[in-house]
Amino acid sequence: MYKLRHIFFFVLMIAFDQYTKYLARTELAAREVIPVLPGILSLHYHENDGAVWGILSGKVPFLIVFTLIILGGMVWFYSRIPHTMRYEPLRLIIVCMTAGAVGNLIDRIVYGKVTDFLCIELFRFPIFNVADCYITISAALLILLAIFYYKEEDFYFLSRRRRKTNAEEPSSDKQTEEEEQPSSNGQTEEEEEREDTKPGIRPLPSRKKLSSDKQRQRAAWSEELNQLAQNEEKDDE
């Protein structure tokens, strides 16, 4: 059920990103800068045929292949995440990052460049778009979760060796439970020894001691019977 919810969320995010880019191409391309928050944020149409800050300008085929490889890694990572509520934030972050990467990938495949229109005026920063917001915010949240929420052992699902050891742990636990099982009277061996050593209480003989005493009694009885038989033979003579 959660996969359907994530797919819907994924498609919705991509649709919103593409809609904002469509408005930028149709309404903003022929206009000058539109201030949203004067001195802080404005709308400025820009076309980028490279990566951030103009890196790899004109290398659209390489960027497409690179993005596909990254998307494959994200899908693999998402498929390995355990199906528990503790990992729900991590799954949502991966969905958001994937939606941002797909949003810019669509632009590169269809138009050969990415449409940007958001400009921060407080400091020098590249013009970006909604898909870039998905990626940046998701990356920041992922770092915060890795530092303050998740522990190192929470990422055991990424290691095959760790998963193998976890699979073997129940068997070892079962052995220890069997070793610590109480005796027939509901007490462990350690508790029996402690009770035996209590002052004023005479310890009961163990089963081994009882069996050895019985054997000695039987041997003594057999010797007495033999002596009686020998005595009767002497009397008859």
- Catalytically annotated residues: 116, 132
Type of residue numbered 62 = F
Q: Which amino acid is at 112?
A: G
193 exposure class (CB count in 10 Å sphere: 0-12, 13-18, 19+):
exposed
Q: How many helices (H) and strands (E) does the chain have?
A: 7, 3
Q: Which whole-number Å values give the CA distances from 201 to 78, 87, 186, in the listed order?
A: 64, 57, 19
Token duo for residue 86: 């503790």
Burial letters for 74-83: b for 16+ Cβ neighbours within 10 Å, e otherwise?
beebbeebee
